[in-house]
Structure 1
Amino acid sequence: MTKLLISIVGPTAIGKTALSIKLANHFNTEIISADSRQFFKEMAIGTAVPFDDELDAAQHHFIQNKSILDNYNVGDFERDAIAKLKELHQKHKTVIMVGGSGLYVKAVTKGLDYFPEVDASIRENLNLQLEEKGLPHLQDQLKTLDTEAYNTIAIDNPKRVIRALEICLGTDKPYSSFLTNPEKNRAFKTISIGLNAERNIIYDRINQRVDLMIKNGLLDEVKSLLPHKELNALNTVGYKELFNYFEGDWTLDLAVSEIKKNTRRFAKRQLTWFRKDENTKWFDYKTNVSEIIDYIVANS
């Protein structure tokens, strides 16, 4: 009997969580999260962790299971998620995975790509440029050297930008050219489901979600994390903008406006990433779940 992983992808605020719960209930199974920020227990509101009633509606894994103080990366997640899937597939033919972190989804479904070692001095120099000239300077370099990477990676994350640049500079090849390694053999079949909507609908849903986060206490959550603002986990939309507010650099209105703008940009990058997978079946976000179930059953 073929083991299945149903992977639900799409832009932020599109309704992936709601669909994952409906599918988990239909297939009587459990959910693993591939959202790289929902792992952290200190970051509940700003990462849109499922509400308590949603968590109660289906068993979830990799939700608030780590601290921002933990050193946890995509390689660690690949190892842990594959082990968890092996365990869950002993009880369930089908398991659901949901999340908008493209690299983390790919790590589970296809495995991580191999990158050659490059001279450590390249990264040191890039870090120096970051300090002296700022992130936009590095972003411009990456846009010149590898437009595809510029359009798909987390471009506001200095670590990701530096990683892509050091590969470009150290190999004289685009970072994106190393993202085509053969897929790893997995002990399960993946069915990838994408949710999408017209751009104006996505943007409206994002704006509404940000307003709801503020109403639900995002300011208090971010304020409590100010002492740790230099951590990579907190270099995240919704947190870094409010750090600027609490430090007196921005007004609250500006910070909230920037959260919405940066989240919209993030959603655009998510779609660019997920659309590269030709095996993903896309559905409108309002599609009746029965239609999606019929597709999964027909392709199992």
Structure 2
Amino acid sequence: MNTNKHLISIVGPTAIGKTALSLKLAQHFKTEIISADSRQFYKDMTIGTAAPTPEELALAKHHFIHHLQVDDNYNVGAFEKDALLCLNTLFKTHDTVIMVGGSGLYVDAVTRGLDDFPEVDASIRTELNKRLETEGLEALQAQLKTLDPKSYAAIAIDNPHRVIRALEICIGTDKPYSSFLNKNKDSRPFKTITVGLTADRELIYERINQRVDIMVNQGLIEEVKQLKDKQHLNALNTVGYKEIFNYLNGEWTLDFAISEIKKNSRRFAKRQLTWFRRHENTIWFDYKTPIETIILALEKQLL
């Protein structure tokens, strides 16, 4: 490990202020930003993902923002590889790089490496996909809760792909999916300092509700409408888009769709905190902490 090179990873729940902090730190350390928000990778998904604005993007060079089309086949393994290559290049000219994002699996892929799962019979996934169609996601969620409560509490439980992935490992190996996590990780040629932003739960929920209202005012409905013919794609099976598709398809009223975005975003924030709090070395700050205090704490770590 080259201890002269540091990755500052900023984590925390949605709408807590990670983007604003990343920009201040990038300017202070005169460096660049890697996004580990798997929803901000895609072009045409700007408002619903709360991607940095053109003005924010101009304040520091960003990587992995809007570099993909929604129908591109991209996953966490590809991101791990691409992000490490990018870091390798950036560390040639910078001692410190900032990474920011709320996608826990993508953050861990860069900082810790991906988990090594055994091969399981492909027929298990086929069967689970059939059950998803016939019985619905809730039946699979209930099974996962029974087989692996730890994973049920931590993964994106509203994402059928994640639920099926965890279940197929549970069924195929007869062991919990979570038992394969954090084993045999590749070491990294840099040191990671993780900064977490948080607030009281009620305040987090209030900020989420406000953000959703802002997104709607900024044109979220119009953005989703442009993507309606691609609603089957995995990239669009995400909070803020799937609810508006239900409205556009005549299944829900607009008011109900917006209230569901708020509810699902709050649930997502709760899961994010569960995920990020697993890591003991994270330095947590209240979201209102002055930037000078955070920089001082980081400078001590960088010595």
Alignment partners' CA distance in 2, 1:166 and 1:295: 42
What is the aligned partner in structure 1 of residue 265 from structure 2? 263
Instruction: Report % sequence identity.
Output: 67
Alignment partners' CA distance in 1, 2:101 and 2:71: 22
Is 2:142 the counterpart of 1:140?
A: yes
Q: Indicate the larger mover: 250-259 or 145-154.
A: 145-154
> Offset at 1:295?
1.1
Partner SS for 1:156: coil
What is the aligned partner in structure 2 of residue 250 from structure 1? 252
Q: Structure 2: where are the runs of 5+ without partners?
A: none
What is the aligned partner in structure 1 of residue 87 from structure 2? 85
Alignment partners' CA distance in 2, 1:5 and 1:263: 28
Alignment partners' CA distance in 1, 2:233 and 2:183: 31
What is the aligned partner in structure 1 of residue 41 from structure 2? 39
Q: Structure 1: where are the runs of 5+ without partners?
A: none
What is the aligned partner in structure 1 of residue 15 from structure 2? 13
Alignment partners' CA distance in 2, 1:61 and 1:48: 16
Which AA in structure 2 matches 1:54? E
Alignment partners' CA distance in 2, 1:26 and 1:180: 33
Which AA in structure 1 matches 2:10? I
> Offset at 1:183?
2.9
What is the aligned partner in structure 1 of residue 177 from structure 2? 175
Runs of 4+ with >4 A deviation: none
> Offset at 1:180?
2.1
> Offset at 1:182?
3.1
Partner SS for 1:194: strand
Superposed CA deviations along residues 15-70 of structure 1, whole A, max 9, x for unmatched, are: 00000000000000000000001000011100000111111111111000001111
What is the aligned partner in structure 1 of residue 213 from structure 2? 211
Q: Quick check: 2:116–2:184 contact (8 Å CA) kept in 1?
A: no
What is the aligned partner in structure 2 of residue 152 from structure 1? 154
Which AA in structure 1 matches 2:128? L
Alignment partners' CA distance in 1, 2:246 and 2:154: 26
Partner SS for 1:76: helix
**RMSD of equivalent CA atoms:** 0.7
Alignment partners' CA distance in 2, 1:280 and 1:170: 34
What is the aligned partner in structure 1 of residue 203 from structure 2? 201
Alignment partners' CA distance in 1, 2:53 and 2:141: 36
Alignment partners' CA distance in 2, 1:182 and 1:201: 38
What is the aligned partner in structure 1 of residue 124 from structure 2? 122
> Offset at 1:185?
1.1
What is the aligned partner in structure 2 of residue 61 from structure 1? 63
Alignment partners' CA distance in 1, 2:293 and 2:272: 24
Alignment partners' CA distance in 1, 2:184 and 2:170: 20
The TM-score, its normalising length taken from structure 1, stands at 0.99
Number of equivalences? 300
Q: Quick check: 2:102–2:272 contact (8 Å CA) kept in 1?
A: yes
